[in-house]
Amino acid sequence: MKTPLGWAASRWTLTPRALRWGTTAALIVSILIIVTGGVVRVTGSGLGCPTWPACDTGSLTTTPELGIHGFIEFTNRALTGVLIAAVGWAIIAARLQKPRERSMTRLTWAQFWLVVLNAVAGGVTVLTELNPWVVAMHFVLAVGLLTTTTLAWHRAHRGQSAAVVFPRRVGGLAWLLVAATAVLILVGTLVTGTGPHAGDSAEVPRMAFVWEQVTVVHGILGTLVLVLGVVLLVLVSRIPGATLALRRTVTFVVVVVLQASLGVAQALLGLPEWMVVLHLLGSALVWVGVLRVLLDLHPQLWAPKAPSTYTMEAQEPAFHA
């Protein structure tokens, strides 16, 4: 028995361009929802909608009584609907490709389930009255979603080739850079959970860390990521023909430098709200950047599989004399 998408795929085909647009939309909105989540936190709107899944008792949407905080929180919730539409577009476009790449459809469906998990985590965040560990989990799930949208976007936009052979040490350093960046982002959630922007004007529990100490650890990890990025940049620059990988690594290093500068500035200036939001945007761009560096240095890691001879022959109409 065919699924609705299977039935549609037997009748219609979408172009690779449709898939590229769908994955682009999903990537952009997955970044945007991280940024708007930051806006909710720094404006103290985390409990602007005091219940979940409704915004308020007896109302699915915000009400005038909830004020600006209710509007900000509900806007962030409503963005989930836009994200579902974008991911749905990517799912349909991936399923209606000829030939079909099952791994791509699985990847887009993974995005859908991560959106669902993020929505539930957002609800738990409200129901636990902004418990900092739940808030951190919510952010980590959002980064997980960003990972899948980045992988799908990269795969839809580039047919990888193995024309450039990267030394094993370069590939290993790329993996180390990804691991260090992941730890950096995780420690960043501890900085957030310890810091002053709790998400609501009321008394909200914070993590039991000393903010200055965990911030120093975060800074040390950021320096490590920058050093690894520069070393990788030097190694890639010595590889003939690695122009694309070099450009991607340069971009990553530049983004890390800007992000580090912003982090130092916001700490010295007392964490102004707009800087905190920009720093969240920067963290998303750093993660997207390091994943793209990894994929460029491992061309076969997430490369579209060439259709088999059998599959290609099966698609050709048969002609008999």
Give the SS3 label for residue 56: strand
Separation of alpha carbons 89 and 145, rounded Å: 16
For 165-182, the pLDDT digits (tens) are 788 899 999 999 999 999
CB burial of 190-218 (b: ≥16 within 10 Å; e: otherwise) equals bbbbbbebbbbeeebeebebebeebbeeb
Both 238 and 270 in a single domain?
A: yes
DSSP 302: T
The reply to whether 280 and 210 lie within a common domain is yes
Domain boundary residue, one of 89, 123, 157: 157
Nearest in space to 125 (alpha carbons), one of 27, 59, 32, 49: 49
Q: What is the CATH number of the domain that holds 2?
A: 1.20.120
pLDDT (tens digit, 9 = 90+) per residue, 39-96? 999 999 999 999 999 998 888 899 998 999 999 999 999 999 999 999 999 999 999 9
End residue of a domain, out of 123, 157, 191: 157
Q: What's the total number of domains in the chain? A: 2
Side chain identity, residue 284: A
Average pLDDT of the segment spanning 112-122: 95
Q: Are the C-beta atoms of 305 and 70 separated by less than 8 Å?
A: no
71 and 191 in a single domain? The answer is: no
Pair (70, 206) in one structural domain = no
Task: Provide the pLDDT confidence category of residue 304 given band limits of 50, 70 and 90.
Answer: low
Report whether 55 contacts 63 (CB < 8 A).
Answer: yes
Counted residue by residue, the chain has a size of 321
Whether 305 and 99 have beta carbons less than 8 Å apart is answered as no
Return the exposure string of 127-153: e unless at least 16 CB atoms fall within 10 Å of the residue's CB, then b.
eebbbbebbbbbbbbbbbbbbbbbbbb
Q: Note the pTM of the prediction, 2 decimals.
A: 0.90
In this prediction, residue 315 carries a pLDDT of 39
Confidence grade of residue 1 (pLDDT, cut at 50, 70, 90): low
The answer on 129 and 185 residing in a single domain is no
Q: What percent of the chain has pLDDT over 90?
A: 68
Q: Could you tell me if residue 283 is inside a domain?
A: yes
Asked whether residue 262 is domain-assigned, the answer is: yes
The span from the CA of 316 to the CA of 121, in Å, is 48
The CA distance from 229 to 252, in Å, is 8
> Which band of pLDDT confidence, cut at 50, 70 and 90, is reported for residue 114?
very high
Spatial CA neighbour of 191 closest among 274, 262, 271, 120: 271
pLDDT at residue 162 greater than cutoff 60: no
Residue 320 within any structural domain of the chain: no
Q: Is the pLDDT of residue 202 over 80?
A: no
Q: What span, in angstroms and rounded, lies between the C-alpha atoms of 206 and 235? A: 42
131 touches 205 (CB < 8 A):
yes
User: Which residues form the domain of 225?
Assistant: 162-306
Q: In this structure, are residues 126 and 49 in contact, taking their beta carbons and an 8 Å threshold?
A: yes
Domain boundary among 105, 138, 157: 157
Strand partners, 117: none
Are residues 30 and 61 both part of a single domain?
Answer: yes
Alpha-helical regions (H) of 158-204: 168-194
Domain check: are 5 and 117 in the same one? yes
